[in-house]
Amino acid sequence: MNNKKKNPYNSEEIFSIGLLNPKYLFTWVGLFFLFPVTKLPVSLIHKLGDMLGFIFFVVSKERKRIALINLKLCFPKLEEQEINKLLKENFKNLGKGILEMGIAWWSNQTRLQNLITDYSNKEFLKKPSKNNGGLLVLIKHSTHLELDLRLIASVCEMGGMYRPQKNLVINYFMRKSRNSYLKGVVSNSQARKGIVWIKRGLKFFYAADQDYGNKVSEYIPFFGHEAATVKLPGDLATSGLEIIFANVKRSKFGYAIHLHKFKQTSSRKEFLIQMNEYYEKVISEAPEEYLWVHRRFKNRPEGEENFYPYWKKRAIRRRKERQR
């Protein structure tokens, strides 16, 4: 890797003829209607998002099943009625999140600043990190994640990751948007490049609350269950890198941002425990805003039963199909 590649950069996102494939017709139609909606007052956008979320609740049977399993695992003290109510609220928030994605993509900086109702401890991002090193900024997979990134990054230059989307049109707009406000954007398969940039002084977003597989994870308690937790933040913490958490909560008229600094530790496991405990704290403050539709407990310690048996059978079936 030459010196130029060691410095943060963005790969240009180029419009291709493949984006006009007929299979993306409904995506383009959806974006055509989404653009004007994102210009409305945020309180009205949220109401429209509730309606969209209700539609998702009715038609997204598989995702609803995953979310229900997760909610029951993480909030065992809640009654069935309370779980079902939280599930419905969560899908309303998913609907809001689709519309908020458009706000992140197409709003100017002035409007975004007006949406921030509070930004506590933002000096953690503004001041230089010790020893000219970078900063790892942990975030959660909220239903408004795309907007979170842009709001948090409004105070300083930052980098981050993206997960390539199967829908190339959505992938195009997501990449193009992130390139406009982030410096140093890599895919989730290019983590090493991101680490190099962090060590060269870049403040970098990272979501450490999903199951990225046993090879890169360690089992750490999460809401009372052992969860495959990515080791990278713990490794960086033990190397002396400063790590903070940026949490965004939605309100009726905007979004409140709170930054939290983690304690320094020499033990990777100790840091990962601290990290997961903080994830639990911020998620519990507004559980309806969290992305419960992903399989957080997909991998299990040896000997433990899978929490998502339907999807385990599907994964085995697909693996056999690929091997034919």
Give pLDDT tens digits for 179-210: 999 998 998 888 888 899 998 899 999 999 99
Q: 219 and 228 in contact (C-beta within 8 Å)?
A: yes
The domain locations on the chain are 19-300+307-323
Give pLDDT tens digits for 31-50: 999 999 999 999 999 999 99
Closest CA to 299 of 248, 242, 247, 225: 225
HEC string of 121-180?
A: CCHHHHCCCHHHCCEEEEECCECCHHHHHHHHHHHCCEEEEECCCCCHHHHHHHHHHHHH
- Name the average pLDDT for the chain: 92
Report CA torsion sign: 124, 163, 292, 307.
negative
Running DSSP on this structure, what letter comes out for residue 290? Answer: B
Global pTM value: 0.92
CA distances in angstroms from 297 to 85, 108, 293, listed in the order given: 22, 38, 11
Lowest mean pLDDT among 102-116, 126-140, 166-180, 263-277: 126-140
Read off the tokens for 108.
């100017």
Amino acid at 318: R
CA angle 256, 162, 281 (to 5 degrees): 40
CB atoms under 10 Å from CB of 54, counted, come to: 14
Measured distance CA(281)–CA(303) in Å, rounded: 29
